Amino acid sequence: MIEIEHLTKRYGDITAVSDLSIRIESGQIYGFLGPNGAGKSTTMNIMTGCLSATEGHVRIGGYDIFEQPNQAKRLIGYLPEQPPLYMNETPEEYLRFVGEAKGLHGLELKNQIEEVMEQTGIEQMRGRRISALSKGYRQRVGIAQALLGNPQVIVLDEPTVGLDPLQIIEIRDLIRELGRTHTVIFSSHILSEVQTICDQIIMIAHGKLVAFDTPEHLERTLMTPNEITITAEAPEDEVKAALSGVPGITDIDWREGEQGLVTACIHTGLERIHEASRAIFFAFADRRIPLLEMSLKKASLEDVFLELTEASPHDENGAEGEVEQG
Query: Rounded CA gap, 18 and 30, in Å?
Result: 20
pLDDT, position 77? 95
Q: Where are the domains of the chain?
A: 2-220+305-311, 225-298
Helices (DSSP H) in 82-164: which residue ranges?
91-101, 106-120, 135-147
Q: How many other C-beta atoms lie within 10 A of the C-beta of residue 38? A: 29
Query: Rounded CA gap, 125 and 135, in Å?
Result: 13
Query: Rounded CA gap, 326 and 309, in Å?
Result: 14
Regarding the domain with residue range 2-220+305-311, which homologous superfamily does it belong to in the CATH classification? P-loop containing nucleotide triphosphate hydrolases (3.40.50.300)
Question: Closest Cα partner for 173 from 121, 218, 117?
Answer: 121
Question: Closest Cα partner for 144 from 81, 214, 95, 72?
Answer: 95
Residue 172: exposure state from Cβ atoms within 10 A (0-12, 13-18, ≥19): middle
User: For 228-258, what is each residue's pLDDT tens digit?
Assistant: 999 999 999 999 999 998 888 888 999 876 7
- Sequence letter at residue 209: L
Query: How are the residues of the chain apportioned to helix, strand and coil, as percentages rounded to the nearest 5?
Result: 40, 25, 35
pLDDT, position 112? 96
Query: Rounded CA gap, 216 and 127, in Å?
Result: 44
- Please list, residue by residue across 122-150, b when 16 or more beta carbons sit within 10 angstroms of its beta carbon and e when fewer do: beebeeeebeebeebbbbbbbbbbbbbbe
Regarding pTM above 0.75, the answer is no
DSSP summary character for residue 189: S
With the CA atoms of 168, 208, 212 and 20 taken in that order, what torsion angle do they form, in degrees rounded to the nearest 10?
A: 110
Instruction: HSE, CB side, 13 Å, CA atoms: give it for residue 258.
Output: 4
Task: Determine the distance from the C-alpha atom of residue 298 to the mean position of all C-alpha atoms in its chain, rounded to a whole number.
Answer: 21
User: For 105-144, what is each residue's pLDDT tens digit?
Assistant: 999 999 999 999 999 999 999 999 999 999 889 999 999 9
Query: Rounded CA gap, 212 and 196, in Å?
Result: 16
Using an 8 Å Cβ cutoff, are 191 and 185 in contact?
A: no
Low-confidence ranges of the chain (pLDDT < 70): 219-225, 257, 269-272, 298-304, 307, 309-326
Regarding the domain with residue range 225-298, which homologous superfamily does it belong to in the CATH classification? ACT domain (3.30.70.260)
